[in-house]
Amino acid sequence: MSAAALFVVAYFVPGVSVSGITAAFIAAAAIGFINATLGAIIKFFAWPLRVLTLGLMSLVINALMLMLAAAIVPGFRVDGFVAAVLGSLLLSVVTSVGGWLLSEGEAKK
């Protein structure tokens, strides 16, 4: 699901690119791992800023995590902070909608 969402992001956000399906799967795994480890730690310690900015700091943190994943995964590129913010925002929306659609399909069975 996340790999497909990365292709959607790469299609719609200038500055985000994925070279192929293998890079998309590796990037999706890296993004998940980074968000579950380093992202969780940073979000925990940045909670005062997140409260102060009414959650907008979370967008910055997610963008930085996306840029970190792009730095370590060959074939996945994010050119600039604006592309990272737009990419992380769209990635969140696409994975949420996709997860909702898949869970609706499961509920109908």
Model confidence pLDDT, tens digit, residues 10-41 = 999 999 999 999 999 999 999 999 999 999 99
DSSP secondary structure string, 19-41? -SHHHHHHHHHHHHHHIIIIIHH
Model confidence pLDDT, tens digit, residues 43-101 = 999 999 999 999 899 999 999 999 999 999 999 999 999 999 999 999 999 999 988 88
pTM of the model as a whole: 0.86
Torsion-angle region of 54 (φ positive above 0: left; ψ -120 to 50: alpha; else: beta): left
Model confidence pLDDT, tens digit, residues 72-86 = 999 999 999 999 999
